Structures are given as C-alpha cells and as structure tokens.
Amino acid sequence: MQKKILVVEDDRDLNSSISKFLNLKGFFTESAFDGNEALYKAYEKEFDLILLDVKLPYKNGFEVAKEIRSYKNTPIIFLTSLDSQKDIEKGFLSGADDYLSKPFSLNELHLRINAISRRVFKNETLIKIDEKISFDTQKLILLKENRPIHLTAKEVKLISLFLQNPNKIFSRDEIFESIYEYGEEPNEASLRVFINKLRNIIGKHKIQTVKNIGYKYVS
C-alpha cells in the first residue's frame, strides 16, 4: 500500500519541492502550510508519516506535535533551521521521531523516511499484500489463504525488501547487496528465478521490471 506523508511547511516552494520529490519516490503526499491546517488534516486523515516544520503560522511545530501526540502515534520528522541542543531536545520532548536541520538534501530526507519506515515495519506482525496473501514479519513466512508458502532465505530477504519499500525502484546491485551475504557471488540468473517465483505467488503485476535499472514492488 502506498505510504501517505503529510508535508507541513509554510514555504510553498520548499513544500512543493519536497512533495514532488517524494511523489517520484513512490509516496502519496498532502500539504499543509500552517499549524492549524496541519492539526486539522492530521486529525481528520490517516498518514504514515508527518514532516513538520517548526516555524509555522498560528501554531509552531512543537505545539502541533504535542497536540498530535495526544491522539495519534504517527511518526514525525521535524524540519527546522533551529539546530541548538536545546531546540533539538525540545523537538524530541514534543514527540518527534527524528530531527532534520535546514538546509538538508532531499536524498538525506528520503533516507530518514526509509529508516523510520523500517522501524515501523518491524513493529507490524502481518503485512497484507492482497485479500488472500500476507507476510508475517516476525516468523518471516509468506501466507496464502493462511497457509505458509515455502521460500528460500534469499526469497524471504527479497520480499521483505520490497514490502519495506513499496514503489521504490531498486537496481540489481542494490538487491544483490541486500540478499547476498558477504563473500557470496551475486547471480543475475538466480535473481530472475527469485523474481519469477514471487510473481507467480503474489501476482505478476506486483513486481515490475524497470528497464535497464532493476525492479520495484507496486503496492
């Protein structure tokens, strides 16, 4: 399922740049431009993550985070030019999961988002792929109609990688680094076998080939 991110930033150009970048990375984004709008959207809708600027009109990010924390545990990353130790401590005490100082690169933001997603993923016990197929993240078992399907160790690593990063394009080298142990020789033919087996189980449309690059799992 496509992850939804609320981008709270009053600088409209920066908000637009962040949103467009995350859309290209496979995320759905919605924008808010002040504290009151952020609180309304966070209360009315479900998001997987909130990017929250500190210096906002009407209510600052620290106040917004505290209010959100009173009714939701949605992960929050603060985006701010305030980088003193006192401000950082205040941010975490307000309920932040991470803190990114401006100026920052969009690639670093993406890495922080993925890191939080992995932590959240580990806390989930069952990831639904469709109505019949799910993946047990504790037992590392793929289930079809509640019956376990045998996967090799590398196939388990591969399906886990895809589920943790839906809609993200992985190069073949990135996949090799994730599923092969140190000293093992990556094998292109074997990877195609792993991909085809997973496609036959979860649906051919779920794992797409990206020409000349690699593969992506479509949520």
Identify residue 21 by its one-letter amino acid code. Answer: F
Please name the residues in contact with 116: beta carbons below 8 A apart, sequence gap of 6 or more: 49, 75, 77, 97, 98
Give every CB contact of residue 148 below 8 A, 6+ residues apart in sequence: 141, 142
Q: With CA atoms as reference, report the closest residue to 74 among 99, 42, 101.
A: 42
* Nearest one of 116, 215, 139 to 175, comparing CA atoms: 215
- Tell me the C-alpha to C-alpha distance, in Å, between residue 196 and each of 32, 142, 180: 41, 15, 18
Comparing CA positions, the residue from 154, 165, 155 lying closest to residue 216 is: 165
SS (H, E, C) the chain: CCCEEEEECCCHHHHHHHHHHHHHCCCEEEEECCHHHHHHHHHHCCCCEEEEECCCCCCCHHHHHHHHHCCCCCCEEEEECCCCHHHHHHHHHCCCCEEEECCCCHHHHHHHHHHHHHHHHHHCCEEECCCCEEEECCCCEEEECCEEECCCHHHHHHHHHHHHCCCCEEEHHHHHHHHCCCCCCCCHHHHHHHHHHHHHHHCHHHEEEECCCEEEECC
pTM: 0.57
Judge whether 168 and 25 are in contact, CB under 8 Å. yes
Output phi, psi for 131, to 5 deg: -65, -25
Q: Quick one: pLDDT at residue 184?
A: 85
pLDDT at 13 (0 to 100) = 95
pLDDT at 124: 61
pLDDT per residue rounded down to tens, the chain (219 residues): 568 999 999 999 999 999 999 998 888 999 999 999 999 999 888 898 999 998 899 998 889 998 888 888 888 998 887 665 666 666 666 777 888 888 888 988 998 888 887 766 555 677 888 889 998 877 788 999 888 999 998 999 899 888 877 888 889 998 998 888 878 888 899 999 999 999 999 999 999 999 889 999 988
Q: Is the preceding omega at residue 166 within 30 degrees of 0, hence cis?
A: no
Backbone angles phi, psi at 56, to 5 degrees: -120, 150
